[in-house]
Amino acid sequence: MNQVVVLIAMGALATACSEKAANKDLRSPKAPSTAVGRQPGSGNVGGQATTPQPTPVVQQPAQPSPPSPTTDNRSQPPLALDGNWATTCQSDPETGSSETNTATYQGTRFTFNVLFYNDDKCADLRQTFTVESTYKLGKPSIKVEGAYEADYIVTKVTLTPAADAIAAVMTENFKTANVAACVGYEFKADVPTDVTKCGLFPAALFDIVKVNGKQMQQGNCNAEGACETVERRARAVDEMVYTKVESK
C-alpha cells in the first residue's frame, strides 16, 4: 500500500440520563393525645367537692411535611453519531492523488473507510482500506471543549483493490513487505482481503470526537503512536471535517 493510514476512528459521548431519587419517609409523625382529664377534687370544710376543671388543650406546632422526592436529570448531552458521515475529496498536490473518508456508526459498531484514488479529483478509484471496530463513548475531553472521549477496539481490517492491475501490484508488494504475517496474501479486484493480522492498523485507539450539528471531527492521531494508549489519547481535533449523509 503506497499510502499509510495514520488518521483514525472518531467517538462521541453520550451519557445516559441518570435519576437519583431522594428517600421519602412516608410515616407521618403522630400527634400526641390531648384527652381531657379530671383533677382530683379536694373536700372543703363543708364536705363539698370542688367542680372539676378541664385540662387546657395545648395547640401543637405544625409539623413540617416530609421533603418531596427530587430527581437529578443533569446529564451530558448525547452525541448523535448513528448514521453515515463523509468528507469531501482530499487532494495531495505532491502525489497527484486523492482520497475520501467515510464513517458509519451503528449501535456500538463503527466502520471506517479510506478510499484512495489515482487522480486528484477522487474519480479513478485505486483501493479501499476498511477498519471495523466496536466503540464506546466516554466523558468529555479535558483538552478540547465540546469533544468526547471515544475508545475503539478493532475487530477487522480489509484491503480491496479496485482493478486487476492494482491487485497484482498489491500482491507483489506484500511478498516483499518484510512483514512475516503479511507474506502470501493474494489480492483480487473488488474482493475485500482480511489483513487484520498484518499490523497495518493498531488493535485499539483512544480518540476523541466532536459533533457540531451535521459536522463531525475526529481526533488528530497523526503522530507516531498517537491514540494507541490512554495516555496518548488525541488532544486536538483533526482539520478534516465529516458531514452527515442524509438517508434517501
134-175 pLDDT, tens digit per residue, is 999 999 999 999 999 999 999 999 999 999 999 999 998 888
* pLDDT value at residue 76: 53
pTM higher than 0.85: no
Q: What is the residue extent of each domain of the chain?
A: 83-245
Residue given cell 503479511 in the structure block: 182
Q: What is the pLDDT of residue 178?
A: 66
What pLDDT score does 86 carry?
97
All residue ranges of the chain with pLDDT < 50 are 1-52, 66-75
The grid coordinates listed for 33 are 393525645
Beta-carbon contacts of residue 178 (< 8 Å; ≥ 6 apart): none
Contacts of 138 (CB under 8 A, 6+ apart): 11, 13, 148, 149, 150, 151
Do residues 54 and 36 touch, judged by C-beta distance below 8 A?
yes
Question: What confidence score (pLDDT) does residue 35 get?
Answer: 31
Q: What are phi and psi of 168, to 5 degrees?
A: -65, -40
Containing 168, the helix (H) or strand (E) segment is helix 164-175
The pLDDT value given to residue 248: 65
Element of type H or E holding 165: helix 164-175
What pLDDT does residue 123 have?
97
- The pLDDT score that the predictor gives to residue 48 is 42
Strands (DSSP E) contained in the chain are: 83-86, 90-92, 97-106, 109-117, 125-140, 147-161, 193-194, 204-212, 215-218, 242-245
Quote the pLDDT of residue 210.
96
- Using the 8-state DSSP alphabet, how is residue 197 labeled? G
